Structure 1
Amino acid sequence: MQTLYLKALEIQGFKSFPDKTVLSFGEDMTAIVGPNGSGKSNISDAIRWVMGEQSSKALRGGKMEDVIFGGTAVRRQQGFAEVSLVLDNTDHIFPMEESEVMVTRRYYRSGESEYYINRRSVRLKDVNELFMDTGLGREGYSIIGQGRIDEILSVKSADRREVFEEAAGISRFRHRKEEAERKLERTQENLVRITDKIDELELQVEPLRAQSEKARKFLVLRDELRGLEISLWLEQLEKIRAGAIKTLSDYENAVRQKEEAQGAVEALYAAAEEHAAQMRDKDVEAEGVRFQMMQRGADANGLENAVAVLRANIQNNLENRDRIRRELEQQEGRADSIGAQIAERKERLEALVGELDALAAELSAKQGEAEETARSAGTLAGELEELRRKEAVENASASEARVLLSALAAAAQELLDRDEAVHQELSAGEERVRQLQEGRDAAQKELAQAREDRDSLQNVLNGYGLRLESRRKKAKEAEERHVKLQMEENALHSRIHMLSEMEKLYEGYSKAVKLVMGEARRGQLKGVHGPVAGLLHVPDHCTVAIETALGGAMQHIVVEREEDGKAAIQYLKRRDGGRSTFLPLSTIRPSDFRDQGVRREAGFVGLGDELVQFDPRYQRIFSNLLGRTVVAEDMDAAIAMARKYGHRFKIVTLDGQVLNPGGSMTGGSVSRSAGILSRANELERLNRQRAGVEEQRAAAAQAMEEARREATAAAYEVETAQAQQRQHEDAILKLEERLAHFDAQLTDASRRRDEQRRELEQIQARSAQTEADTAAARARIEALEGSAAALRAEAEGKAQGQSELQARTAGIREAIAELNMRRAGLEAEQQAAGQSLTELEALRRDLTGDRAERERMLTAFEEKNAALEEEILEKERRLQAIRQENRERQEAIARINEEKLALEARRNQADKQAREKNSELLNLEREVSVLEQRKAAAALEEKTLLDKLWETYELSHEAARAQRVELESVPKAQRRVGELKKAISGLGNINLDAIEEFQRVNERYTYLTDQRDDVLKSKKELEGIIADITEEMKTIFARQFSVINEAFQQTFTELFGGGKATLELEEPEDILNCGIEIRVQPPGKALKVLSLLSGGEKAFVAIALYFAILKVRPTPFCVMDEIEAALDDANVVRFARYMRQMADKTQFIVITHRRGTMEEADVLYGVTMQEQGVSRILTINLNDVEKELHIK
């Protein structure tokens, strides 16, 4: 009996099986029966589909989505279809450890497809390889239906090859060969692509090599120049700084001397100023004396003036006395003369009044006449002005009309010329439009053809694009997974490194522990084993509990002997390193825990020393520390234990709560990952995790490279198609430009033609309008000229009247002016006569009362003169006294002037000395200024050099000193700098990027060259592999074909009850590709080819051939889907019995509706469709078949 068989088939959502359906199969024969349309063939489709069938046509559908249950009137459609095949693998025929192999396929309506082997996601390729050369699979002969019968009976004998190749066991070889040929094809494509890239790079390498060598030479020269320039600048800088130091010293000495000279000058100037101040004091003193002299001189002058006035008064009095005496003698004659003059003045005043009244009347009459004449002249002037204005308007209008007439004449001639020109242009434009239209039609046809070619290529490009997008997506996903795993690995590595460093540095331990362990590592302290926390391993779930139980004891240090602990303590005392507890192995005693009954308590996890792992050497240490500590699951369990055992020992819960001996409790929140033990556990866990991630990353890297290669190949296809598409696009663009050019020219030509037509119409209209405007202009000119002549005649009459009025008005104004002059003269005479009369009358009154007064005045003058003589004598005495005082003051002023002269001499001496000292100071200031300029110049030179260092090489002074080179001689170095600059200049343009670019391109060139060699090597290897596989396939196929031929002859004879049958290769020399001819001779008949047999005979021949194949190469199971439908009842019985004979090597599952087949079956499954569109499975007895399934 076979060792590999189909155990079960699980179907859900596949075709007519919406609900999960499981069919279990034994190692015997199973028949699946049911009425037509019940869905029994869907079972064989399900088996074919789960084994990788990709053709929806082979599954009796239009598209793959049709395999998903589509719903009924009462059931909703399913979202996916899933089929699982369970195979027995007890003898491990499949290369797997499991005794059962489940192959699952799931398909979603979105188009996603998934494959699983033993519930692990795999590829379709993996499923195909699993079934290859087992007779199973979509290309094998494990599922035989009417379609397979038709294939083997096909007129095209080549269509039979797949069955024979699978039976011969060369499918795997052919798959390997085809895979190798695909690899060879890809290799050839890669070789072409690599060769193209190498050819492209070869054009770049040599120019870049030359540029790179020149750039490298430039860098060597530049570096030498840099070193020399920096060193020369530093030499120059040192000289500048040395000179600057001397200049600074000279500057400081000059400043000190200048300050001393400045002090001396200031002292001399102060002395001179002191003398000048004393001189000013003397001037003030002399001025005071002069002021007193002036005051007394003024007094003397006053007295002199007063005496002179007094003497003048005396003289005046004498003269008045004599005048009064003479006036008294003349007064009598004057009185008579004044009376006669008064009478004459009164007579004249009366005559003047009469003359003025007559003149006023005449003046009033003349003024009235002048006003009337002025009003008439104004009216006439206004009328004349209005006439002249109207005449001017008419003349202007006439001029405008004449100008318009001239313009109209010119326009008419221009329109005539333009009409002729436009007619000529219109004829040329219509011809141009016709030519352009013909050109555009031709371009339109070319463009349509080019677009059709472009669209055809676009369809091809879209297919390539979809393939590229799929492969890029796959590559991106693979790369993202690789990057994600790489980042995860890096993160783990960083975390492990950090934790390892923390462990190595004893991070989290006390200062004392760190010092002791450091000294122990250096070998200075003996017998030190390490801190407690570093000597044990704790399971993750107990970490918090053990950390809590140990507490500070985690940092206790385990030592070999007490002496070792003593030495460590003395070391800590010397280093002032803090304190630590030491646990000598030689003295620590284990704990004795007697309450063993606690082990049976609910929630008991274990004793502390039993839950941790450690070296047996430290048994007593951990028994001492944890031997009396119980670990409980939770607080409730801990409290129950503590109460029961009287709080005699410490209990710690897994989450770190503590019940201390004696009854006290310690608890709260506890960090899950901050402890020393947590760190060690995390480090161990991370190392395990990193190993897994590294393995995953390596696999992901391999998948990523494979995906990238596939994407590169797809990209090459797209690039090639895109290049062709670009050529089409360029051609279309040129044609579109050409068509657009024609359109633009045609539009422009049509527009110009239409404009010319419109212009002709406008010219005709404008010509008619011009003629009408010309006639109107001439009529207007005549009317305006007549109106202007009438206005001009009327204005001339008005002008004559105006001249007469103007002459009359001028005569009246002259008469008025003369009358006004006469009145002014009479009025002045009247005023003078009146004033003279008043004065004469006053004089006459004065003469009457003045004689007595004059006689009194004569007596008064005599008395005044006597008093004035006395006053003169007094003032002359006072005048003599003042003159004496001023002579004394004059002497004082002379003395003060002498003292001032002495002070002036001393001041002049000080000024002279100050000027001399100041000259010295000026020399010193000039020297300081020169030194200051030298100092600034040195600083500037230093700054310039430092700036040059920075701007040229971006170096500070200190950085430049570090790059200084030893100079043999400065002149020689300067000459070398010139040579280097000349050499650099001679290199021309330098491309420094060429060094890196050449390196990159050369590396790429070398890499591609190596890759080409590898590809050529791979190509040769693949060609060898293909040749070897081909030879092996020929050998195996020839051997197996002979065996199958013999078996076919046997099965044919046994099934037909005689006769002959043979298989022949059409072209034996091409054994792997030629067709296979089947020749049969049924009993009692002549040798025939298949095409001459009846339908039943053909089917029986095919069955005989399949049985022969199964004899030679049995398949683990075989599904036969109504292949005996064309046989008569007798042959059905023969078929069934023969199948029974072969059932010891192959498990048969037969889908049938023939009774003879059902009678040979061990198990019957019935398929019904009690619910419309939904298949159900029934296990039935043969006797119930007819009743249940209506089979006759």
Structure 2
Amino acid sequence: MDADNRRGELIVFLKRLEIAGFKSFAEKIHIDFVPGVTAIVGPNGSGKSNIIDAIRWVLGEQSAKSLRGSKMEDVIFAGSDSRKAVNFAEVTLILDNTQNLFPLDYTEISVTRRVFRSGDSAYLLNGQTCRLKDITTLFMDSGLGKEAFSIISQGRVDEILNSRADERRNVFDEAAGVLKYKTHKQQAEHKLFETTDNLDRVLDILKEIDDRLVPLEKEAGSARKASNLRSELREADVRLLHHDASTLQQQISEKAAVVKNDETEQRKISDTLTQYENDLDIDKKVLMTVELQLDEFQNELIKQTAEAEKWEGRRLLSVEKTRNTKQQVERIRQELQSAEDTQRMAKDKHRAMQMKQKTAQHELEEVTKESKQVTAMLNSSLKETEQQIEQLKSVYIERLNEEATVRSEIRHVEERLQGEKSSTEKITVQTTLLSERKQQLAKEQQEKNEQKKTVQKQLDELEKSARACQQQLTEEEQRLSTQQQILQKALRKQSEMQGRLRALESLEKDFSGFYSGVKEVLHAKKQQRIQGIEGAVVELIKTEPAYTKAIETALGGAMQHIITTTEHDARRAIGYLKTKNFGRATFLPMDILKPRELPINSRHVLSQQQGFIGTAFELIQTSAAYESVAKNLLGQTIIANDLEAASGLAKTIGHRYRIVTLDGDIINAGGSLTGGGAKGQTTLFSRKAELETLTNQLQKMDESIQQATAQTSETRNLVGASLHLRDQLRVKLEETQQKKSIIHASLQETEMELRSVDMEISTIEIGRTDTVSAEKQLSTKKRNLQTRHEVLKSELQETLEKLEGLERLVENRREEQQSLQKRLHDLQQKSAVLKEQNAYHSSSILETITQIDELELTISRLQEEQHYVQEFVIGKELTPEEIEKQSQQANDTKRHLQQTIEIEKAKRVQQATRVRDHEERIKMIRQQAGIISERLNTLRIQLSRLETQFETVKDRLDEEYGLRPNELHFESLDIPLLRKTVEDCKQQLAIIGPVNPNAIQEFEEVSERHEFLQSQRNDLVEAKNTLQEAMAEMDQEMKSRFETTFEAIRSHFRRVFKDMFGGGEADLVLTDPTNLLTTGIDIMARPPGKKLQNLRLLSGGERALTVISLLFSILEVRPVPFCILDEVEAALDEANVVRYSNYLKKVSDQTQFIVITHRKGTMEGADVLYGITMQESGVSKLLSVKLSEVAEEISS
């Protein structure tokens, strides 16, 4: 009772597990966990291991294979023979956080994981959606991590047993809490790699910028000079444009006055024409009115003619009608009499049908009422009896379950009785064995002395072989080191070249070095925002390295000129730059650009001179489509070997063409010289050439590295083989030394073991007395259970008899039910017949109603016809004389209309003549208006041309200078002087040559970027040092934590091993004590009566119990909130299972245990027992028993 009170005071960490649709758990279940030990049992295949899979899954397991599936959707219940598959699986784990194990402000934490068949999944923390990373971070270093020992299966035990020493330390790392440091260190190493890579890139860019600064400064100076000249040129050009604008404005004013006069005359003629056209419209309307009246009179004439003809016809008809009237009166009377008789018969039939329908409806209501009564009797006849049967079945099942439980307890008691008897037999056998063992100890001592001598001889031979192997290994390692240094040097060179290549490719991709306007156009071409752009000149031509300097000098700023397909494309690109204010650029349209070449005679003379290499065009390669552009730029530029040769060539051709030397010196047309030297700089041409060179060099470097890698790999294989041989020798040395130590220790332990044998014999005798007492108690319990079993069997028989009686009663009721069913069927048939009769009567009634309505119409028509005939008989029809009079009137009207029509025709002729006169006048006026309009169009074209010229001047002012003509106010202008100034400025700008208009801004930007990158470099260096210091601190912390935890586990392991084995000794050994960050861990153990040896040399049960002892030791050093053990004691014998169970009870006050087991000893030690069954195929069910309450009931 005290133990139960103590357990009740424990804080439950794992409080509840809820599972729905996960694997074999089709329906939602929940498991409430208690302090201490909870055991989950069940037959193989019942799904008990799915409980562990559910906990592992909700804690974040990502491997479907670890959950015994091929994909994560396999954890969803897939259906069975009697159940459909579900669409999602959900597991919720509720944890107690009253001790603030987790850094959350909640006393209870729920973790939920869902997965749907669509592949979607979700994680929830206390009902709020979260990420998987949040779950893993929450559980890291809590003993619940991925490498933790909170969930231990038989496979996990085997993994610890069979893993290498370096792999085995993962468990110790988890216990020491260093996993998060390892994770942080890996992140820091990744950041360090990125920082180093960024630093290398920054250094590459800095080198590139350093190469650009000096030439940019020179370009900026030229740009400033050119800018001043352009300012002077601008002022003069603006004045000239103002003069042109003023002249054009005056001409436009004069021409506009003439146009205005002609427009006035045109308007007058237009007004006259409008007046005549209005008169013509009036006359046409009058003519139309006359024609309409004429049409009306003609139509009336046609009507009157028809009227006269009609009256004549009526006269003839009236004579004929008089003869036929008496016959019609008799016919109408007979038809009217027949219709009235038929109507009376239809009404009689209608009344008869209504009576039959009422009778059938009454019968149908009576049948329906009786059917409802029979149905009610059918529904209620068996209900009460079936309820009684269900109640008895429930009682029967309860008794049956109780009988099965009692029967199971009887078997359990019998098994324990058998176990106690077996223990007695074992005690006898053990006593005999101990006596025999005592006699063997003296003999073993002599044998171990012989073994010691043999082992020493083996040690001497192995040490000799190890020295020879070490010498060979040293030589191979030196060779490997040399090869690795060569390889590393090549890799560093490759990395530098790759960095340089990336930097150049980045500059090439960003069009770095191009003027801003050129750069924007090339970017727009790349993004397909501008059509017709072929590319910059420097992109479309190539040359050999020897001529690069000369071609660059020859092209100068033209390297950045942009080649377009047509002039229209060039104008469109210029418009794009203007719209966006992106700067300026020079364009070379292929459709209008003409090639320029040396005259044949000059070419012939030059080819005879020493130092002549050729024209610049001849030294480049480009597509045939761009040859005309290339000839335009380079066709008349001569390339010479050096300045001296260039001077001679210039004199030969009279200084008419520009000559460029291979060193970049220039003799300009006219005789001026340009030359000098500058520090090495990367130009667009040289950058392009360097890209190609670097690509080729990298290919060759890859081949060299592959060869060096192969040689290094071969040597490494040799070193590996030597290392393997050395390790084998070391293992053999260690094993031999261990054998020697074991033999020595065994000799010392022989006397100790003799004393131990005497003590064990005394202990066994005490155990024999306890076993006899236990057998008596179990026999008594068995008799009580058998008595209860007989009572339950009697109650079951009685209940079964009652059930059989009720089932017979149900059978009788079912016969009555069949009779009622037959009566109900007859009633339903009769109801159907009555419904059909009722429907027939309704149809007949509708037919008679329709017939009566039709007869009413017939009678009404005949009565009207009779009335008409009677009127005719009594004299209401016109007489032939009256009809003759009406005919004469119609003929008189017809003659009058014919006279009126002749008058209207005369009016129409007169009005048509007036319309023709107006049309002739309008035609003459329109001819006069055409003459004026043609003259006016000519004047407008002339005015438009003047305005276009003015707009051109105005656009130049606006686009080139941002001014408008009306903004310019000059008192007097010296036009010749202004034109001379413009020509002088243009000539000086031509001498300067093309300059980079953005050089000043680029120089400032590059300088600013250089300073920024210097600051970035300093920051990266500081960050690199900080990361290295942090990694060193983490290494030191991990060493300290691992060393402290290892020593604590080692101490506990020595003690726990003795408790679990009832003696013996064990130890944990570091494979490399000098390197605590990577050292492995070996397990040494000596069970009682055996030698101290490596874990691999023990039997299966000894190895399993040793690992279990290690896990219990770790739990003592680093208690986890809960621990799940999945059949880890499967390999233990009964005695060790009892020790295992007892130890679980001992440490369960600190750790909550959930045990999957089928071993009796483990079940007996559990506080709560959950059973997993599969009564329905493919579907797991949950049963629970609290063993402490069962024990109390049995004892009471």
Per the TM superposition, whether the score is higher than 0.5 is no
TM-score by length of 2: 0.38
